[in-house]
Amino acid sequence: MHRHLAKIIIVTGLVLALPLMARANGLPVFTELAARGGKSVVFISTEKTTQAAPGGQQFRQQVPEGHPFREFFDRFDQFFGQQPGQPRKQMGQGSGFVISANGLIVTNNHVIEDADKVTVRFQDDAKEYVAKVVGRDKETDLAVIKIDTDRTLPVLAFGDSDALQVGEWVLAIGNPFGLDNTVTAGIISAKHRIIGAGPFDNFLQTDASINPGNSGGPLLNMRGEVVGINTAINAAADNIGFAIPSTQAEKIIAQLKEGKAVKRGWIGVTIQSLDENQAKALGLPEAKGALISSVGQGHPADKAGIRQGDVVLEVDGNPVNDSKELLARIAGLKPGDKARLTLWRGNKRITKTVTLGERGEKIMAAMQPPQPGAQAHVLGMALQPVGQREANALGLDQPQGLIVVEIKPDSPAANEGVRQGDVILQANQQDVNSPAELEGVISRDKARGAVMLLIKRQGQNLFVALPLDTE
C-alpha cells in the first residue's frame, strides 16, 4: 500500500431493505448497521517475495558521504565484492467485502498487487481462506478476488453515490493497522474531489476515520448500502479521507468479476480545460468544455474530422464542463462504440461522430530546448522565428512558429504561464511565423479582449490565452 494512501472498496449483493438508523437524543446509533455490515467485511493478508539489496547496499544508501561507516562499506565491497541479496518475504494487509454469496470479494488493486499468496478471514470465522485474483484494474485501484467455501456468504449491495448529499452520515468498516473489524463513523464532507491519485479522480470526501489497512473496505450509508470505496487519505490532516463513488466503481467491478480486462474508450487527442481568457478568444459565452490541444494523425478523432482548437461541449448529449469530465465520459465507453461529440468551432456548434479506439495507444514526441537568435518583443515575450536549425532541434517537420526566448516578469505571458522555450505555432487559430504576423492577429482581434496561442512545449501542444488591453 502506498505510504500516503489508505484505500477502501465496495460491492453488490444483498440489499438491506429497511433503514438501519436509530436515533438517541437526536444522534444516530450505528449498532445494527455495524453488526450486519461487519459480517460481510473481510481481513485480507498478503505475502510476496522481494529481492533484498546486495550485501550492505540497503544500509549504504542511508549513510551520507563522508561518514566513517560509508568507508567501511566501500572497503568491504573492495575486498569481498557485492554479495547477492537474499529473497525475503514481505507481508501486507488490507480489507475487502463480499459481493456474491459464492465467494467473490472486492478489494483494492494495491492490496493484492504482485502478491504470491492472498488469504481472507471473516469476523465470525477463524479459518483462513486462500483467494485467487479474478480481475484487477490499476487505474481505478479496484480488484476482485474469489474464495471457495461451502458457506452461503452475506453480501453487501451498492447504493447510489450520486444521490448522496454533503452532510449525510456514513460508516466505514475495515482493518486499520491490523485492528480487524474496526468501525468508524462520520459524514460526507464533499463530492467530486480531484486529488491527483489517478486519471479518473472523482472522490467522495469523508471525515469517517480511514487509516492504512482500511484499503478495500466499504463506506456504507445508513441503509447498509455501499456508497463509496475508501481509497486515500491526506497524510497531513486529521480525519480527511477519500472514497471511490459506488456508481463509478460498480461499472468496473461488473467487468472484473467476469475475469475481463477493463477496456476504455479513447479518441487520440490531448486536451485541456478552458479558462476565461481562452473562452473569450474563442467567442464562447462561458469557460466550459474541453479544448483539443492536439489530434493524433490517423487516430479516431482525426478520422472523424475533429481538429486542433475544437472545444468539446457535449458527449452524446451530456455536457462536458472540463477536460477531466471529457476523459471520464470517453473512458466510460468501450472501444468500438460510436460517440457523438458536440464541438465549438468557428463561433458555432457542430457535431462529429467518432468511433472509439482503446485507451493507451498514443505516443508523444520529445522536444529539446531552442537556441536564442534575433528577437522581437510582443506581450512581454522576446520572440524569434524558428529557422531550419531550430526546427531540427525541436523535432519539427519544417521551420514554423516563434520561439519564446525570454519573458518579462508580470507581463500577460508570465501571468498566464508561458515559459521560456515554448514555441508559438498559432494565434487565434491562425499560423504565425513572424512577430509581425502575431501583432497583426492581435490588432485584428483586439476587441475580443484576449488572444489564444497554440504552443508546443516538450513535444506536446497546448493552448494559452493572453488578455489584451482593449482600452
Query: Residues at the annotated binding site for substrate?
Result: 47, 110, 141, 213-215, 231-235
CA 28 to chain centre: 34
Q: Tell me how far CA of residue 401 lies from CA of 8, 211, 295, 426, 453, in angstroms.
A: 49, 51, 18, 7, 11
Q: Which of 40, 45, 110, 201 is catalytic?
A: 110
302 has catalytic annotation:
no
Nearest residue to 357 (alpha-carbon basis) of 298, 290, 289, 291: 298
d(CA 36, CA 30): 10
Residues 6+ apart with CB under 8 A from 5: 110, 197, 215, 231, 232, 233
Contact 274, 285 (CB under 8 A): no
434 has catalytic annotation:
no
**Can you name the residues that pair with 266 across neighbouring β-strands?**
357
Q: Which of 215, 246, 293, 294 is catalytic?
A: 215
d(CA 40, CA 147): 13
| Number of other residues whose CB lies within 10 A of the CB of residue 282 | 25
Residues 6+ apart with CB under 8 A from 274: 282, 284, 287, 288, 289, 290, 291, 311, 322
215 has catalytic annotation:
yes
d(CA 54, CA 59): 10
Q: Which of 137, 141, 180, 310 is catalytic?
A: 141
Apex 260 CA angle, 256 and 264, nearest 5: 90
Apex 36 CA angle, 35 and 40, nearest 5: 110
> Which residues are tagged catalytic?
110, 141, 215
